[in-house]
């Protein structure tokens, strides 16, 4: 299932967009968020300078209905709040895409990572635009949590056997025919199964490599 990383530009009309732009050195890290029918509840960690002013600005905003300080230090404040403008949460809810915290917001931009089908990712983008938020896609890549997700059972077992028998050694110490005899399969079946497994592994590697280049 595809995984995407987006940089969302928050409108100045949105309170968090306005405040984060006014205090560009402060990072708003949303640790948890929950949409209700008409509002949203969030837990945000603020780090940086002028935190007293930032918290005061949040409290003075009409769209922030409640605000509680749960912890603070010289350069960090943990705040729980309820807002009538949880536009990101509404976009997530309407598109059916689960929000993956933390969401980092700084200088009017939110960094959002989501994992969903291509259709739901498209719906998420449409919902963002409908709420007045433009965005840039940093990357979209396949997501394979493990070899179990990337390969079928037969492909995985055959690749393991091929490695153990020396089929991928340089120089090769096990021929395709010998490997087929070892696993008791037809040579043509072994060849095709390995080819499909190699294709999946190589494409996943290239996708991750391209994503790392984009992030760098």
Model pLDDT for residues 99-116, shown as the tens digit of each residue: 788 999 999 999 998 887
The pLDDT, as a whole number, for residue 146 is: 47
Give CA separation, 64 vs 17, 20, 42, 49, 202, in Å.
Answer: 13, 14, 11, 21, 48
State which of 120, 142, 164 marks the end of a domain: 142
109 and 138 share a domain? yes
- Please report, rounded to a whole number, the percentage of residues in the chain having pLDDT higher than 70: 90
Number of domains in the chain: 2
- Say how far apart CA 114 and CA 93 lie, in whole Å: 13
In terms of domains, do 43 and 134 share one?
A: yes
Same-domain status, 120 and 187: no
* Domain's final residue, options 108, 142, 176: 142
213 versus 9: which is more confidently predicted? Answer: 9
In this prediction, residues 162-176 reach a mean pLDDT of: 92
Q: Tokens for 100?
A: 């993956």
Range picked from 55-64, 110-119, 121-130, 201-210 for highest mean pLDDT = 55-64
Residue ending a domain, among 142, 174, 200, is: 142
Q: What is the pLDDT of residues 34-56, one digit of tens each?
A: 888 889 999 999 999 999 999 99
More confident position, 125 or 2: 125
What does the pLDDT look like over 63-105, one tens digit per residue?
999 999 999 998 999 999 999 988 888 887 888 887 788 999 9
Considering the domain architecture, whether residues 116 and 56 belong to the same structural domain is answered as yes
Which one is predicted more confidently, 61 or 100? 61
Are residues 121 and 162 located together in one domain of the fold?
Answer: no
User: Do 183 and 128 belong together in one domain?
Assistant: no
Do 8 and 88 meet the contact criterion of CB atoms below 8 Å apart? Answer: yes
Q: Which residues contact 147 (CB under 8 A, 6 or more apart)?
A: 156
Looking at the structure, tell me whether residues 77 and 93 fall in a common domain.
yes
Are 110 and 192 found together in one domain?
no
Q: Is 23 in the same domain as 104?
A: yes
Supply the angle between the helices 187-215 and 176-183 in degrees, to the nearest 10.
110
Q: What is the mean pLDDT of residues 178-196?
A: 94
Q: Both ends of the chain: CA-CA distance in Å?
A: 23
pLDDT given at position 71 = 94
pLDDT score of 212 more than 60:
no
Is the pLDDT score of 1 beyond 70?
no
Check residues 146 and 160 and name the one with the higher pLDDT. Answer: 160
Residues 91 and 162 in one domain: no
Q: Based on the domain organization, do 207 and 122 belong to the same domain?
A: no
Same domain, 176 and 89: no
- In the prediction, which pLDDT does 50 show? 94
Range of the domain at 194: 147-215
């Amino acid at each position: 299932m595809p995984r995407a990383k987006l940089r969302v530009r928050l409108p100045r009309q949105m309170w968090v967009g306005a405040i984060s732009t006014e205090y560009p050195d402060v990072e708003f890290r949303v640790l948890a968020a929950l949409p209700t029918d008409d509002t949203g509840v969030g837990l945000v960690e603020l780090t940086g300078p002028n935190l007293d002013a930032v918290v005061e600005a949040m409290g003075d905003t009409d769209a922030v209905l409640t605000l509680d300080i749960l912890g603070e230090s010289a350069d960090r404040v943990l705040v729980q709040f309820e807002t009538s403008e949880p536009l990101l949460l509404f976009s997530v809810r309407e598109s059916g895409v689960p929000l993956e915290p933390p969401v980092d917001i700084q200088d009017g931009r939110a960094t959002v990572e989501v994992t969903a089908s291509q259709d739901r990712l498209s719906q998420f983008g449409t919902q963002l635009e409908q709420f007045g938020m433009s965005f840039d896609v940093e990357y979209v890549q396949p997501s394979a949590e493990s070899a179990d997700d990337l390969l079928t059972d037969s492909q995985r077992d055959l690749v393991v056997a091929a490695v153990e028998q020396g089929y991928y050694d340089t120089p090769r110490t096990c021929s395709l025919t010998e490997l087929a005899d070892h696993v008791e399969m037809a040579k043509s079946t072994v060849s095709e199964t390995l080819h499909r497994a190699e294709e999946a592994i190589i494409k996943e590697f290239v996708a991750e490599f391209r994503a790392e280049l984009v992030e760098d």
